[in-house]
Amino acid sequence: MDLKLDNKVAIVTGASKGIGLAVTRTLLAEGARVVATSRRTSPELDALADDRLVHVPADLMDPEAPARVIAEAVRLHGGVDVLVNNAGGPPPGVSLPRSSFVDASDADWRAMFEFNLFSAVRAIRAVLPVMLERGGGSIVNVSSGNARQPSPINVDYGAAKAGMNNLTKVLSEEFGPRGIRVNTVSPGPVRTAWWTEEGRVADTIAAQAGTDRDTVMDSLVPEMMRLSTGRLADPQEVADAVVLLASPRSASTTGAEFAVDSGFLKGL
């Protein structure tokens, strides 16, 4: 299927690895011009080197950074058609999962909201006038199943993502009549660095359960989270949903939430 993304200008945050890297790769394969942003590049992102790909380094914990990224995309390409707010997860210096709600201080909550919600708010605020001048666009916010399935070990993260879901609905109502679609993709557990890197979630759970990280990801977590597919999702599976929503092929889809979560969410 032609997703009609040839020469569309897309910004992807958190693009150096995981879901953001897969989204960047897929947009390039569909003919888009991509402005990829992250604190640092990565060998995997560098391997996608192409005259349609530009990496703009930015720390989205800096309140001024999202607007600078948008401005650079406009300088390079004259406008923006797609914004993928993918950056998220534990902010720098914060580790998840926690053992309890009481383990998160005010500073932890502020950092979590800065990275997982306010960075997207600021990027959207900066891109809206650019998209309106262009006649429309598509914004895809990457949320989490924890936005609707609260977790006591990720309570601040889930609250920030619940805010993102609410934001998506509000924006879709206000700006849909003006040609800007806003949708959410909510992953469940995905085989990204958050799980797989040394010292991250799989190792934390493995230490608590007296097992190893492969057992955690291959069997313990799918059983514990009651994943219908019996496995963690692959980043590409999330990226496919994101890029479809970014595409003009989804022209009548706005204000929607797509769960790509291996059957994690059980409620209606």
* Residue 254 pLDDT exceeds 90: yes
Q: Judge contact between 258 and 183, C-beta under 8 A.
A: yes
Same domain, 185 and 201: no
Instruction: Place 197 in a pLDDT band, splitting at 50, 70 and 90.
Output: confident
Same domain, 86 and 41: yes
Same domain, 146 and 215: no
Same domain, 213 and 111: no
Identified catalytic residue from 113, 157, 195, 258? 157
Confidence at residue 237, expressed as pLDDT on a 0 to 100 scale:
98
Same domain, 155 and 241: yes
* Residue 256 pLDDT exceeds 80: yes
Same domain, 26 and 82: yes
**Residue 97: cis peptide before it, omega within 30 degrees of 0:** yes
Position 180 in a domain: yes
Instruction: Place 234 in a pLDDT band, splitting at 50, 70 and 90.
Output: very high
| Owning domain of residue 227 | 191-232
Position 56 in a domain: yes
Same domain, 45 and 99: yes
Confidence at residue 98, expressed as pLDDT on a 0 to 100 scale:
81
Same domain, 200 and 172: no
Q: CATH number of the domain at 40, please.
A: 3.40.50.720
Position 113 in a domain: yes
Confidence at residue 203, expressed as pLDDT on a 0 to 100 scale:
87
* Residue 182 pLDDT exceeds 90: yes
The HSE-up count of residue 204 (CA atoms within 13 Å, CB side) is: 12
222 is a catalytic site residue:
no
Same domain, 169 and 106: yes
* Residue 95 pLDDT exceeds 80: no
Same domain, 141 and 174: yes
Kindly tell me the burial class for residue 231, based on how many C-beta atoms sit within 10 Å of its own C-beta (0-12, 13-18, 19 or more): middle
Neighbours of 178 (CB within 10 A): 12
Percent of the chain having pLDDT more than 90?
84
* Residue 100 pLDDT exceeds 90: no
Q: Which residues contact 140 (CB under 8 A, 6 or more apart)?
A: 82, 83, 84, 85, 182, 183, 184, 185, 242, 245, 246
Position 26 in a domain: yes
Strands (E) located in the chain: 9-13, 33-38, 53-57, 82-85, 137-142, 180-187, 257-260
Position 115 in a domain: yes
Using one digit for the tens of pLDDT, what is the confidence trace for 35-91?
999 999 999 999 999 999 999 999 999 999 999 999 999 999 999 999 999 999 989
Q: Look over the chain and give the mean of its residue pLDDT values, rounded to a whole number.
A: 95
The pTM of this model reads 0.95
Same domain, 73 and 23: yes
Same domain, 245 and 179: yes
